[in-house]
Amino acid sequence: MASNTEPKMDIIAQCLCKGHTFTASISPSSLPLEASYCHCNSCRHVTGAMYSCDAPWPGPHEAVLDSTLARYDFTQNVTVMFCATCSSPMFFHEHYENRAESLGVFIGVLANHPIDNFVKVVDHIFVEDTIDGGATPWLIDINADGTPPKLWKGRMNTTEELEAPWPAVKSLMKAEDKAGPDLIPLQCHCKGVNLKVRRMDSEFLKMKDSGKELPWFINPENLKHMCGFDPCDSCRPMFGVDMVHWTFVLAQQVEFAENTGKPFPADTLQLKEAISSADRDPRLGTLSLYASSPDVQRYFCSRCSASVFYAVDDRPEMLDVAAGLLWAPEGARAESLLAWELGSVIGNAGDVKGGWREKYVKAVRRGAEKWRIQRGYPKSWRRINAEKERPELLEDFKDLQVE
């Protein structure tokens, strides 16, 4: 219990564009913040991430509730409060009739304090919604004190507690044995963004057979799209989580769900122009953008806040896609389409150095590698090439290796 004389520390929650900043003054002894990860279909599609994560906000509620944050009615009793400029989800506001109001802060918008036990994940909820376990296999051994979070089929304490990893590795069908649909829905929670991603396996196969170079994000063995791990300081607050998962497609693979009339913009330069056009295509729906740099566009749903795309002007043919928005029949990991970079060096990890997220990122990478080995998946082609150039990387998981 914190004493009245204990020095206080400030916890800062801030959106990507820094238009909204909230501060809570707490005693260090009251840490860690106890967070819950929700893997339900709704949370994935309201963030664009593979889950949402929040903890009770220890600061004054009035400052948040009286703020100019945009609001989206997530459910009848829960509102998402987000920045309308950059789309960073900042708070869940729960307002049930028969209980006190509460505020949960999205962990991804919190500053990276240099305290190992700053956040402790206590629960993974609605894991069954993922069908395949989603990101949970590499989110088990992530707490500084070594305590694993509990996995729940649905709500915590009222549904079945699951054993990790869930589902059991032996019960999972190999991803390569699953044929995915030719068109995979890409939707935010409110469906204001309603698109589809078209598979191009036959086109990529022709390129490969003719000796042409495949796009760098296409696995040359199975023609799946790379899906990476990203904890950078820009993506993190925009999704509200500490680890973002991007996959990559050619702009020509994106289609409107109502595919009549003009096609989806052929490249990102045309997309940027189409968003602000006076003659805007109504099928673009609620898709909006925030330019986090002069040549970078971050696309999101202006109504429910979900992150959708990342685009850079010097590669107009390509879009980064928020993996959490895909609706694949085999499960949240969409493994008929995606090749996950399990155990690979995580890019932009320099952003988390010196804070509690540094150990978190290392733990997630190790968890992903452990699960890759249990699952019998091969290393990604990009990882193999990296380890050839940097043999020291082979030492990272020497105690786990079975290959």
> What letter would DSSP give residue 351?
G
What pLDDT shows up at residue 401?
67
pLDDT at 402 over 60: no
What pLDDT shows up at residue 2?
52
pLDDT digits (tens, 9 = 90+) for 293-340: 999 999 999 999 999 999 999 999 999 999 999 999 999 999 999 999
What pLDDT shows up at residue 100?
87
Cis peptide before 237 (omega within 30 of 0): no
Residues 168-180: what's their mean pLDDT?
65
pLDDT at 223 over 60: yes
Model confidence at 175, pLDDT cuts 50, 70, 90, reads low
pLDDT at 158 over 60: yes
Q: What's the mean pLDDT when you consider all of the chain?
A: 94
pLDDT at 389 over 90: yes
Residues 44-49: what's their mean pLDDT?
98
Residues 84-98: what's their mean pLDDT?
95
What pLDDT shows up at residue 6?
77
pTM of the entire structure?
0.95
Domains and CATH numbers, the chain: 9-25+32-170 (3.90.1590), 175-395 (2.170.150.70)
Residue (of 279, 288, 283) closest to 261 by Cα position:
283
pLDDT at 92 over 60: yes
Residues 6+ apart with CB under 8 A from 198: 182, 183, 253, 254, 255
